[in-house]
Amino acid sequence: MASSEARTRQKKRQRTPNGGVRAALFLALFTCTLRCSECEKPSNIVLILADDQDVYLGGMTPMKKTKALIGDAGATFSNAFTATPLCCPSRSSILTGQYPHNHSVRNNSLDGNCSSPLWQKGPETTAFPVYLSKQHYQTFYAGKYLNQYGKKETGNVGYVPPGWDQWHALMGNSQYYNYTLSVNGKEEQHGDNYEKDYLTDLILNRSLHFLDDRSPQRPFFIMLSPPAPHSPWTAAPQYEKNFTDVKAPRDGSFDKPGKDKHWLLRQPSNPMPSTSLNFLDNAYRKRWQTLLSVDDMVEALVKKLEELKVLNNTYIFYTSDNGYHTGQFSLPIDKRQLYDFDIRIPLMVRGPGIKPQQTLPAPVLNIDLAPTFLDISGLNLSFVNMDGQSFLSQMAPELRNGTARPYFLVEYTGEGHLDPDPACPKLGPGLSQCFPDCVCEDAYNNTYACVRTLAEHNLQYCEFADTESFVEVYNLTSDPHQLENIVKKVDPTLLQAMNQRLIKLQSCEGDSCRATKI
């Protein structure tokens, strides 16, 4: 009997852990739970958005620190494009993940829907920061927003777009000094003191304060939008004498006549006069000078993230709203054209799961940024109405499965004035952005839509909404500088196929914009 009771007690001891064992098991379980929650914590995101920075004409050359700290540490996209080559509609595409024909921002004017009440009541309410806020991200914005932001007709400085916790936005277009900010809806005036007012540095400093003051328990999203390298090209004092011997590159389509191109490009004098050449060379140098402060910004921000021990869980994106030209097809300076120098943009990303030293050829658009941010945040993308697609799978295939788009749309609505421009009266009304040498960079009939493909052929097919119904077609494999319009040489079957793709893309929305076959 006694031996039977002893065996029963021994079995109970084998089945029931003692207090020490229970404590050890609890501690192991608690530690595992902590580790799992850390693994599941959404990553932080930083977006640095330059203004008018090209990649085609060497615009990334001054950015040595940025290329080392972001590009070399992650992925560089060799085929990144804007959906439209102009500030306000492009930035609206970045915010909404939509093509311009869906967010309805056509150009930089209030009439073109730039930061208008219609934009504020519609597309802006479903921009990506709204979704990130719902995902419990702490959101911070500093720098240029939309060109008409802060105007009386758009709500003055008191209007703060939804989704932003901290708001330090520039009123109007890019400036470096003597500007006004909306700081969480309150007006803040700035002068011309470098230490206090230089906008690129101010943007950086306020982002560093945000990082110090944030809650470590929640992820953050930071968007920094410096004015560089947009005009008026005001460099920081320490960089005013850099690149004194640099000139705009004279290769490719530089100072070539706009033969067989749409009406606007057939107007410039060729060869260009010395006044235009001197002007564009000066602009080219000054643009590079302003970018050195942006390069410093990237370095300081990465250093801060490293000090706070959050760098390894932070995605950092570097890009621009559009490209730029300086002398291509005898156009002195601007953007707004359909050619690669205006629609190609820099794009580099580093972050969790992205292997360093990658160059990725898959085409990516700026409408893909918003869905990529939301994908990183853990949001189910089927819940949002965006034309773009996440490219997280391109950067980190082990995190996501995905496919590259075979073709995409670029669209632009031209701006003009009802009266003739005093600088170019002989061309009549309907033009804008005119120079004294009677070169106008834009016009009402500079309205076009293009379909671009890199999968089957490196082709671009464009149609103009003008009196000529002009068409331009380029084979960028054999003609990378787009010197020859081959519309009269291309197989009519291919032209018809490109035309049908363009028609469908111009009316696409959401999933239909990402169709693999049209």
Active site residues: 87
DSSP notation for 83-136: SSSSHHHHHHHHHHS--HHHH---SSSTTTTTT-HHHHHTGGGGSHHHHHHHTT
Q: Which two three-digit tokens encode residue 353?
A: 């799961």
Q: Which residue is it, tokens 């003597």?
A: 178
Q: Which two three-digit tokens encode residue 29?
A: 């379980």
Beta pairing, strands 431-435 & 439-443: antiparallel
Q: Which residue is it, tokens 């389509």?
A: 253
DSSP conformation class of 212: H
Q: Which two three-digit tokens encode residue 173?
A: 């277009």
CA atoms of 325 and 335, how far apart (whole Å): 6
Contact 440, 427 (CB under 8 A): yes
Contact 270, 255 (CB under 8 A): yes
Q: Which two three-digit tokens encode residue 174?
A: 């890019």
DSSP notation for 225-291: E--TTSTT----GGGTTTTTT------TTBT---TTS-GGGGSS-SSPPHHHHHHHHHHHHHHHHHH
User: Residue-wise over 77-90: b if at least 16 C-beta within 10 A, else e?
Assistant: bebbbbbbbbbbbb
β-pair partners for 222:
46, 140
DSSP-based three-state secondary structure for 206: helix
